[in-house]
Amino acid sequence: MYAVYFCGGKRPTARGGKILKAYFDNSATTMPCENAVRAMNNACLKEWGNPSSLHFKGLEASAEINRARKSAASLLGCEESEIYFSPSGTAANNLAVLGSVNEKNKNLRKIVTTAMEHPSVSKCMDALEERGFEVIRLKPDKNGVISPECFSEVIDEKTALVSVMAVNNETGSVLPFDEIKRIIRRKKSSALLHVDAVQAFGKIRVNASSADMITASAHKIHALKGSGLLYVKKGVKLKPCILGGGQEGNLFSGTQNVPAIAAFGAAIEEARDIESHLDYVNSLNFYLRQRLSSLDGVRFNSPENALGYILNISVAGVRSQVTVNALSEMGICISAGSACSKGHRSETLVSMGLDAERIDSAVRISLSRYNTKEEIDLLYDGLKTVIESVK
């Protein structure tokens, strides 16, 4: 199954006739799997009604959404009524953070997060700070790790919200989201826990019992852009940021993107064998580390126990964008950090205390279950060529 990477067996051709030889930017977006594309086409050509309409075409579209909702609830281990589809992972993160805090409660004015969150969370924290909330941003150690003890030291009875990503989108470091809920209970805090699982959903087990809110994004698991989801534990009240017709439990008003949601559901079904996929990707990551360790000037920024889907490295003496551009000319795609922080120095690597030269030469290689060892060999050869050319 892993030999078929490009859907339909045909490698895509970029503008100008450039052939894609290997794609390693899966943390930015993934190529839709064949079943997701089929589900999208079916929703576009057959179930194209407005899901809020009560005639049979509307009911057909609504049924597509309900099938996807059932798949998501099953994977997270929650009730279908606790799953809400959003226009994106960013929209879901915004609502989870901004919609969960109550400015009228003067006793709960503290928020705990990390210094390496995605901008869709960190910018919300900036906004809440301007509104008078105290925001504690925990910094990782030099390996990109934040221990449970760090959270335990700052969570207390004044904490309204703890918001943390499950997996860092640049280094792949796994945060102790499973343990934070237990810390909140032990501290007898009423704080809500939001877990940004955009880089974790469908790749490691994330269970609804671990959090009050969980976010995910479709295009990170081989579905389409234009759909995300938010799990909200029953009883948790959120103030909607988008006002309108009241779709998705009044949390995300606006006509649902049925093709994208249907594709999301199909991709979730394909991602169910999480452990098997992770074992395979871990083997690729191990092989990749072995090969890259033989190259002069390559340093690993991802910790040893990072999620195997992501490997962050620095190439001494070569600026990030030079490496990205040179490999792109060879038909190989990687990224210079997060696609959402284009043109800015990585907040994650800065918070880890890495020096400027190492940060400015850092690139992210993000794998999928469809990558192969042969593609890794192409990447190795490409990086070797770049390093030798600079020398």
135 forms bridges with which residues in the sheet? 111
The helices-and-strands tally (H runs, E runs) of the chain is 12, 12
Rounded Cα–Cα distance for residues 86 and 253 (Å): 9
Q: Which of 44, 78, 241, 340 is catalytic?
A: 340
Query: Strands, E, within 40-122: which ranges?
Result: 83-86, 110-114
Asked if residue 51 lies in contact with residue 58, where contact means CB atoms within 8 angstroms, the answer is yes
Give, in order, the Cα–Cα distances in Å from 288 to each of 73, 129, 167, 364.
Answer: 34, 41, 20, 13
Q: Does the active-site annotation cover 150?
A: no
| Percent composition of the chain: helix, strand, coil (DSSP 3-state, to 5) | 40, 15, 45
Long-range interactions of 125-133: CB distance < 8 A, separation 24+: 125/97, 125/163, 127/98, 128/97, 128/98, 128/101, 131/103, 132/103, 133/101, 133/109, 133/160
Among 94, 106, 103, 227, CA closest to 163: 94
Length of the chain counted residue by residue:
391
Rounded Cα–Cα distance for residues 251 and 242 (Å): 7
Asked if residue 142 lies in contact with residue 224, where contact means CB atoms within 8 angstroms, the answer is no
Give catalytic residues, as residue numbers.
340
